[in-house]
Structure 1
């Protein structure tokens, strides 16, 4: 390891998968069929279970600022709802890459940035909306959000210029120059990001400064109906079916806020295809992780690098009759958080409640950076060596907010180790006993036996939804 100003210097390298449903992936089956795969990470580092606030631009804005959505004011993806990159631009001067640059780091972003980056301003979004009503495709919807913008703090900027998932036929902004990719096998986006990340890492081999590398793939997001795998994986996992647990196609949702129709046979068949496509496209993410770790080793950096693997949301494949990610159920809010590096215990799992704000705080702590604001998360470093380290008792859940949502789709919530409370804008409440009912089949909000839980959880939820900085920590 290298020392800088008498402190240990580590190179945080974070790989952020897009829209995964990781807790439904059979990693043992994958490693048996494909060799090393994710085992390079999963078999050696500490693994911390995580619950994240979801929706793409919101967690990304929170990750880059270390602030919750109610602090940043970014609660949506669309500029029409004061969300997406148009809302985040004003915060770019005081964000994670700028702090890391101040600490002497070389920084790189490879992949996805914010929703609507280089795509739509509010004016362009209004044009697109009007065009959809008139069945007209306007060409000027990038007005106000130039594709060649490079945010401050990044030494290497290699970012997709559009929001929609595109595994082929997309554009990338490389430090202000627009690169266009077609439909050749070599244009497969996850592989392109992999090759660029390797080139960046190898360039750091003889350089003294530590570096921070953020890789954010489009996989496993759907392009149209489902994700698009690389050619070599289109036939993988043909024997894998859709995981069906007790909450799949839930029989009775009359006591729930979200009351979707039952899932029929045709819908289940489509879900199976979509699930299998996610597994197939995830194989290229596995390749990326393996290749990046190998490049770190070749560059002589692996032993001094902290690697973090996570995602920005889970996904519901028919659980509770729902399809998607904008719900408070466990399948949507839980994501993987896998870490490897110096000082991190091997082959261990932590059960503490952590969120995406803690990831930011951890990177800042390890890098010795000085943020210009009080972070809402806490560094995970105390958990690296101590599975019983004192930690928070509750975390906040927040749904996206947009003008087209019905009140029963907007919610805030509080999750503890054994309880989950959800309050919808319609006034409807849900309370789940996660210890007795891990599949969240029984809403106990109206059950007198849980009245003693309901009142303190309501109070906690109100507090977390208005907290800032250190006040967001509930011991």
Structure 2
């Protein structure tokens, strides 16, 4: 891979951060770093839904041997969720251990406020070498090195799949030979690990761009799933659709089999919120995806092909640890920053509070320290920071909302672990089709509350209706559960100072009919 060094701004940037006060909460330091402190590698992907991995069986023929290895020889958490299904808010929650309304990175445009503390800073204080490699996406187009990391490789905004333009420790590095982003980031991660001194505990945060739309696979993976059969979800088409009269710009015409699938699960289209119905024909709907730029089937198959690059990256990291005899003292965590819909409720993308959006893959691999298992506990992205710190012997800082789940890794129980999770999403001007959304989910029920629109809320019995096809918000026998969950939602917001929507002063590109003329508002 060829790279071109354009210019350097290393000295002023690093000098700035050398004198910035971190304002960390008072946390008792761990003992000086020793060989007994485990290395931790956190690998984050983008838009990877929780069930699109080979071992789940959701997509027959999908090959993810390295994710499968992590699940088979490590711990799989099938009930892992994000607090907000959107890139920047989720990534901020991972790094701060806080809900979106607490850290206030509520969308992809809002910059990180002053005073936020990223958990790797505590690792630095306790003898760890730390590195960030990949997508940051807070502050949007600012890819300057951030506090908490000794080594920095990142890029502006979403970046590009081919020929990336990177900030490497303050130096601008541009690739010009069709280099593929997932491969480039993996190479940087491996190079950094190879540069470390022996017995030096380290923390690596490998943050991929993939599999964010538009889905562009590595050249070696193009066409790998060109003939992949697609099983459409039972809520992709209304149950009363006439296949012969159905028209769509991007979705395939349904067969009688698909309509029968909707009828079989009892898809109650009459009680689907109007905003969901309207979104079918919008940017994030199956009938007019990305303004008709790509057909659903091609979109789906490219996604599968792009996932292959992430799985290979995981494999390279695991192989390096094995070759260097570091598997026994390293914990590898794989997670997605949010899920992604492929036709459920007639939608694509994320943002909403349906399962395929708010649920993410979470795998923990440490063959020298944990026994293989599947753990059903409800984990959230705010728990990653506390868990990594706990692995290093550091107490959870008081400003974090999350909790360590290390006891689960050790085969122990946590008696007072959460029995419900909370979700929040704030309306965005660039994508106005999805309203501000709050949700409460237990192991059986989900309550979704929409703000700012004249529409119906939603309530699902996930045990009887895993497809979220039947909205029970008007069901007389469920009103007590609905009230209790609504009360729990407001109790949560009140106790975490979330009753005020944190509006941000940001300019965003025009997205209406006049977008091509530029400007912001």
Structures share a fold, TM > 0.5? yes
- C-alpha deviation, 1:116, in angstroms: 4.3
Judging changes above 3 Å, is the alpha-carbon distance between structure 1 residues 407 and 320 closer, same or farther for their aligned structure 2 residues?
closer
Give me the whole-angstrom Cα distance separating, in 2, the residues matched to 1:159 and 1:190.
12
Are 1:249 and 2:237 counterparts? yes
**Higher deviation after alignment, 289-298 or 259-268:** 259-268
- C-alpha deviation, 1:408, in angstroms: 6.3
Report the equivalent of 2:118: 95
Report the equivalent of 1:375: 400
Report the equivalent of 2:152: 157
Over residues 143-174 of structure 1, what are the superposed CA-to-partner deviations in whole Å (9 max), with x where a residue is unaligned? Answer: xx4x5x211221110111x2134111331111
Judging changes above 3 Å, is the alpha-carbon distance between structure 1 residues 233 and 403 closer, same or farther for their aligned structure 2 residues?
closer
Give runs of aligned pairs for residues 442-457 of structure 1, distance below 5 A: 442-457=470-485
Are 1:321 and 2:346 counterparts? yes
How many residue pairs align between the two structures? 423
Give me the whole-angstrom Cα distance separating, in 1, the residues matched to 2:277 and 2:171.
47
Give runs of aligned pairs for residues 39-58 of structure 1, distance below 5 A: 39-49=68-78, 50-53=80-83, 54-58=85-89
Contact 2:53-2:67 at 8 Å conserved across structures = no
Give me the whole-angstrom Cα distance separating, in 2, the residues matched to 1:218 and 1:240.
24
Contact 2:133-2:152 at 8 Å conserved across structures = yes
Report the equivalent of 1:473: none
Are 1:111 and 2:134 counterparts? yes
Give me the whole-angstrom Cα distance separating, in 1, the residues matched to 2:434 and 2:227.
38
- Structure 2 length normalisation: TM-score? 0.75
Contact 1:165-1:222 at 8 Å conserved across structures = no
Report the equivalent of 1:437: 465
Contact 1:31-1:37 at 8 Å conserved across structures = no
- C-alpha deviation, 1:283, in angstroms: 1.0
- C-alpha deviation, 1:360, in angstroms: 1.5
Report the equivalent of 2:371: 345
Give me the whole-angstrom Cα distance separating, in 2, the residues matched to 1:453 and 1:35.
39
Report the equivalent of 2:99: 68
Give runs of aligned pairs for residues 388-403 of structure 1, distance below 5 A: 389-390=414-415, 391-403=417-429
Aligned partner of residue 14 in structure 1, secondary structure: strand
Judging changes above 3 Å, is the alpha-carbon distance between structure 1 residues 202 and 340 closer, same or farther for their aligned structure 2 residues?
same
Structure with greater helix share of residues: 1
Report the equivalent of 2:49: 21
Judging changes above 3 Å, is the alpha-carbon distance between structure 1 residues 402 and 188 closer, same or farther for their aligned structure 2 residues?
same
Judging changes above 3 Å, is the alpha-carbon distance between structure 1 residues 331 and 321 closer, same or farther for their aligned structure 2 residues?
same
Gaps of 5+ in 2: 1-30, 240-267, 498-521
Report the equivalent of 2:203: 212
Contact 2:76-2:362 at 8 Å conserved across structures = yes
Give runs of aligned pairs for residues 181-330 of structure 1, distance below 5 A: 181-182=175-176, 184-185=177-178, 187-204=179-196, 206-223=197-214, 227-251=215-239, 253-257=269-273, 258-260=276-278, 261=280, 263=286, 270-330=295-355
Give me the whole-angstrom Cα distance separating, in 2, the residues matched to 1:189 and 1:57.
19
